[in-house]
Amino acid sequence: MKTVADARTRMVYEGWNKKPVQAEQDGVIIFNAPRPLYGETWTGDFISGVFYAAVDTGNQTPSLVDDCFLWQIQIDKNVRLDAAVLTWFNDEDLDRFTKEYTEWLSKEYNRPIEYLMKYYNEDEMVVRYMEMKGVVGDE
């Protein structure tokens, strides 16, 4: 059975795509794909597709098919449909990403951060950080 760890991850900036109400609840995983998904579903702006699903891992409804919970089946099916798990980030996260990446670059290239900032702007830093972490550029 597939789990969330088997899914692709996409980070979404809150300033561009509003976080759905479902994402505010503890234990809810938001999936997005170019095809219909399983869970509480809706359509919205294109990220990896226009189809969204919220899977509530706190729902203890047993599955009628396997010896597991319904949410486990929903996750398995969504991952098999190549849905991406969405994670939202905000301006504070952007600042943290930039700081982490510049510190990594400084150590990697043995150069002071001030030197590196001559060659990269903050937007480039964030994109490169996310590419390094494997959360953008996968599609």
Rounded CA separation 11/27 (Å):
18
Q: What is the pLDDT of residues 26-48, one digit of tens each?
A: 999 999 999 999 999 999 999 99
Angle, alpha carbons 132-134-138 (nearest 5°)? 125
pLDDT of the residue at 112: 81
* Four-residue CA torsion sign, 51, 19, 86, 57: negative
**Whether residue 133 has pLDDT greater than 70:** no
Lowest mean pLDDT among 65-74, 79-88, 118-127: 118-127
Q: What residues have CB less than 8 Å from 31, skipping those under 6 apart? A: 7, 37, 39, 52, 53, 54, 55, 78, 83, 84, 85, 86
Report residue 4 as tokens: 């969330």
